[in-house]
Chains A and B, each alone.
Chain A
Amino acid sequence: MYSGINISQTDARPMYLQILEQIRARVAAGDWPPGKELPSIRALAAALNVSVITIKRAYLDLESEGVIVTRHGKGSFVADVNGLAGELTEAKLDEHLNEAAALGRQLGLSEDELAARLRRAQRNLEKK
C-alpha cells in the first residue's frame, strides 16, 4: 500500500532518514494533505520490511519538525496549524503543560519560577 516509499541499501543516508524525507516530500507536494492519517508504525514497518524502531525514529523526527502530530491511541496525522491537526497540537501542548505543572509542584516551584523556566526554554529554542 505504501510501496511508493523506497529504501536503498546503496544510499549513504540511514534508513530512517530516507523514510522521513520521502514522507516530508509527500506532505510538501500535497499528496498527503493536512489531517491525513499516517499508517501505524507497525503497519508501515511491515509494508517496508523495516524494523519498528526505524519507523518510530522517522515519525519522532517528523513530529519534532512539526510535519506530523502524534496522539497516543489515536495515531499520527499530517500537521496543519489551523485545521484538525492544529487542534491535536493544541491538545498535545495542554497535555505537556499539565505534566510540567505537576512536575513543578513536585519540585516545589512557585508559579513565577515555573514560568521563568518556560521562558528560558523558549530562549534556548531561539538560540538554535
Chain B
Amino acid sequence: MTNHKHLSMRGVRKNYRFFTLDDLTLELEPGQVMGFVGPNGAGKSTTLRLAIGLIAPDAGEIRVLGHDIPKNQAAAKRDVGFVSAEMRLFPHATLGWHMDFMKSIYPEWDGGYAATLVKRFNLRTEQNARSLSLGEHVKATLLLALARRPKLLILDEPTTGLDPVARHEVISEFMDVLRDESRSILFSSHNTVDVERISDTIAFIDRGRIVECSNKEDFLDRWRRIQVQLPPGTALPDLPNIVHRQIDGHFVTLTTNQFSEGLQALIGPHVTGIQRMNLEEIFVANVMHHREARGQ
C-alpha cells in the first residue's frame, strides 16, 4: 500500500457547457503536501471533486490510494478526508453530535485527538452548528476530517474565512499530520503565502489546464526578475528563457523562468539588480505568459 501514489490523475477531462477541464495530469506521493493554486473558475474545485469521486470524468484515469476512481471510490473514501468551504453541518445538531456520528461511521475515529482539537481550535462540543461563526464552522469541519486520521486529506480552500490566528492554528495541525510520512495533503488556496510555506509540490492551474506542476524549491529557484540599465546606443542581445520584458527608455525589466549565471553573463555588465520572486509573483507571471503563448 505504501508504494502507491496517493493520488494520480492522467489525461483527465471533464466537459461542462461553459467550461472544460482538459489534459489534467497530477501525482501526489505519500508524505507530501501539494498546493493547488489558480484564479477563480480555473477548475480547482472541479479537480478536487473528481479526485474524491463526487463527479465522474469524461476521459482519463484517476487513482486514489491505489483505487480506481470513481469505480472503487467507496474503498478509497475510508482513507480520504475531504473538506470544502461549501460543506454544511446539520444546523440543529451540536458539534458533539457530529463527532459521535463520525465515530459511528469511521472505525479509525480518534476520540482523544478529536478532544485535543476541540481545545486547540477553541470550540465547544455542546454548541449547535447553526450558531457557529464562519471561522468556527471551518474549524469544525476540519476537526471532523482530521480526527478520522485519513491517509489523504483533500482540502478545498481550507483557510478561506479564517482570521490570521485561526489560520495559524489550522496550518499547524496540517503540518502535524505530516509528521507521519505515510500521510499526505492536497489543498487548494488563493492564499499563496500559505501555499508557499507548507507545500512540497505546487501545481498552477488556469482556465481548465495545468500551467505548471513542480517541486516548490525548484519554482522559487528558477524564477528571477532582472533589472538592466542600457547605455545609450546599446540593445539587449537575444536571450533565452525570458517570459516577459518591460522596456522603459533605458530601463529594462526581464522576467525569466530559467535563471542561471549563464543568462546573467549573456546580458552583460549592465545588470543593475536581480531579485527572487515570491510565489504570487511567479504565479501571475506564469499564468500571463501561458495565456499569451496560447493566444488568449
Same complex: yes
A54–B276 CA distance with the chains assembled, in angstroms: 16
State the Cβ distance, A48 to closest chain B Cβ, in Å: 8
Which B residues lie within 8 Å of A45 (CB)? 175, 178
A54–B31 CA distance with the chains assembled, in angstroms: 14
Which A residues lie within 8 Å of B276 (CB)? 12, 14
Give the contacts of A29-58 with B (CB-CB under 8 A).
42-43, 45-46, 49-54, 57
**B193–A16 touching, CB < 8 Å:** no
A37–B179 CA distance with the chains assembled, in angstroms: 18
Please judge, given known A-B contacts A46-B178, A50-B197, whether A12 and B215 are in contact too, CB under 8 Å.
Answer: no
**B200–A52 touching, CB < 8 Å:** yes
Is B281 an interface residue when CB atoms closer than 8 A count as contact?
A: no
Is A9 an interface residue when CB atoms closer than 8 A count as contact?
A: yes
Which A residues lie within 8 Å of B179 (CB)? 42-43, 46
A15–B276 CA distance with the chains assembled, in angstroms: 12
Tell me if A's interface is mostly helix, strand, loop or mixed.
helix
Which B residues lie within 8 Å of A7 (CB)? 197
State the Cβ distance, A18 to closest chain B Cβ, in Å: 12
Closest to A43 in B: B179
A42–B32 CA distance with the chains assembled, in angstroms: 11
Is B84 an interface residue when CB atoms closer than 8 A count as contact?
A: no
Chain B: residues with Cβ within 8 Å of the partner, total of 24
**B176–A51 touching, CB < 8 Å:** no
**B32–A54 touching, CB < 8 Å:** no
Which B residues lie within 8 Å of A42 (CB)? 31, 178-179, 181
Closest to B275 in A: A12
**A16–B217 touching, CB < 8 Å:** yes
A54's partner among B172, B178, B193, B216 (CB-CB below 8 A) is: B216
A21–B28 CA distance with the chains assembled, in angstroms: 30
Closest to A41 in B: B181
Complex interface bits, A4-22 against B, C-beta within 8 A gives 1, otherwise 0:
0001010010111000000
**A50–B178 touching, CB < 8 Å:** no
Give the contacts of B210-246 with A (CB-CB under 8 A).
215-217, 220-221
A45–B33 CA distance with the chains assembled, in angstroms: 12
**A15–B31 touching, CB < 8 Å:** no
State the Cβ distance, A20 to closest chain B Cβ, in Å: 12
State the Cβ distance, B28 to closest chain A Cβ, in Å: 13
State the Cβ distance, B224 to closest chain A Cβ, in Å: 12
**B175–A46 touching, CB < 8 Å:** yes
Please judge, given known A-B contacts A46-B176, A57-B217, whether A51 and B200 are in contact too, CB under 8 Å.
Answer: yes
**A52–B178 touching, CB < 8 Å:** yes
Among all A-B residue pairs, the 9 with the closest Cβ atoms: A53-B200, A46-B175, A51-B200, A42-B179, A46-B179, A49-B175, A51-B198, A57-B217, A46-B176
Beyond A46-B179, A51-B199, A52-B33: 5 further Cβ-contacts under 8 Å? A42-B181, A45-B175, A50-B175, A50-B198, A57-B217
